[in-house]
Structure 1
Amino acid sequence: MSDSTHLVLSLSCPDKPGIVHAVTGALARRGGNITESKQFGDSDTGLFFMRVQVETTVPRLELEKDLEALAGDYAMEWSLDEVGRPMRTLIMVSKEGHCLTDLLFRARSQGLPIDVAGVVGNHEDLRAVAEFYGAPFHCIPVTRETKEAAEAELMALVESLGVELVVLARYMQILSPALCERLHGGVINIHHSFLPSFKGARPYAQAHERGVKLIGATAHYVTADLDEGPIIEQDVTRVAHEDSVAALRAKGQDVERRVLAQAVRWHTEHRVLMNGHRTVVFA
């Protein structure tokens, strides 16, 4: 289609007959050409989820008016965005750089659709990594006494930089419940364990003590409940009885970076929809 725009629509609403017909019909009446469509009805929650990519020459504002009308009829939550638009992203780190380096490399060379607005570290250790990739680095130290002020500084950065997504790339600090609420659905964390096993600190040491044969990593949305947010992606790798804690950590870091990058990609492509304490992922 000449002079067309490629858009992605994601939505959720109470499940009932006619939703797919209503949505696709609205797009068709505007001359939209659907290039991808996936849907899922969850019998447990009674909710319906849908993701549609459509090419259209109709102005986006006109489509949004149509969708707003549908939202009223179906109690629908929806979003509309351009396919492939890089999402303004802030990456937060502490001292370990494997996830940060991987995200920055993928953004530069492998088409990960993020526009890195900056990197925030609570230590200076990874400044050189961020600056190598041309990402502004902001050091915001955090102590028990300065946590409130540090989070206020972080929130000011989020607002001033137009940040849409915050990624905790092995950021070894717990966000306050108030901050989690303000950024709800917009913060992804990588936990170095296959949740719900080995929550909290030192999961590789916990795994070593239990003699597990598989270790993994979990990318999830951040909530006020530690390591309890809706899971986006997980993966595992095999380990052996002779592996030390250090060996487990080395193997696990490779899984961590892959899982985090996949979760970030799916989120920025609008493939992840919240379903209570779970997610629907249209991979």
Structure 2
Amino acid sequence: MRRVLCLDGRSKRKKKEKKKEKKEKEKEKKEKKKKKKKKKKKKKKKKKKKKKKKKKKKKKKKKKKKKKKKKKKKKKKKKKKKKKKKKKKKKKKKKKKKKKKKKKKKKKKKKKKKKKKKKKKKKKKKKKKKKKKKKKKKKKKKKKKKKKKKKKKKKKKKKKKKKKKKKKKKKKKKKKKKKKKKKKKKKKKKKKKKKKKKKKKKKKKKKKKKKKKKKKKKKKKKKKKKKKKKKKKKKKKKKKKKKKKKKNVQDARGVTKVSALINTQLNTLTQGFQL
């Protein structure tokens, strides 16, 4: 048994070792392939760099001069930033005090201005009466009104007069004058007499009749509505009583309770006699 176990153990170890060797060989092959690929990429990059170097040689000379100037400026800015931060803290404290003072000054100024205005107005009024300054103000108001009137009267009236004269001259040559004169005289005389007599009579009669009828109708309607309400209340009470009787008498099956009680009592009596 020991020999068998020993042989089995050796065979298993050998298999494990072979597997490890295979895995190690496969890893080495993969690593070699990766290295070859990296070398190819590096070769391609080197070729490109050689071409670019020729172009960059000219640009490098210009860039070097610019870089030197920028480095000097950066050093100076760092020193200034530290100083600015210290100054800002001091200024903030001073600004807060100034805001409080400004509010107090504004209140005092308002009171002084009101007093000064009153004094100035009184002095001006006295001077205006002597120097005739009021007359100038009145003239200004009149000038504004005149300008508005002139705009309305511009050239409209002149144009209308000229046009009418020209039209009449043309119509005189034609035979339209006779027709117009005859029609105008007949229409004016007939319309004035008939319209005035009819309008005055109709308006007076209609207004008096309408006012009297409206007052009488409103009073009659109010009395009739009160009587109808009393009758409706009586009818509602009768309907409620009928519904209550039906609910108390009938069961869910539709049989009256009274008839059910009579049947039960009769059945008990008949059974007693039979026994």
TM-score, L = length of structure 2: 0.10
Name the structure, 1 or 2, with higher relative contact order (CA <8 Å, separation 6+). Answer: 1
Structure 1-normalised TM-score?
A: 0.10
Higher relative strand content: 1
> Which structure: greater helix fraction?
2
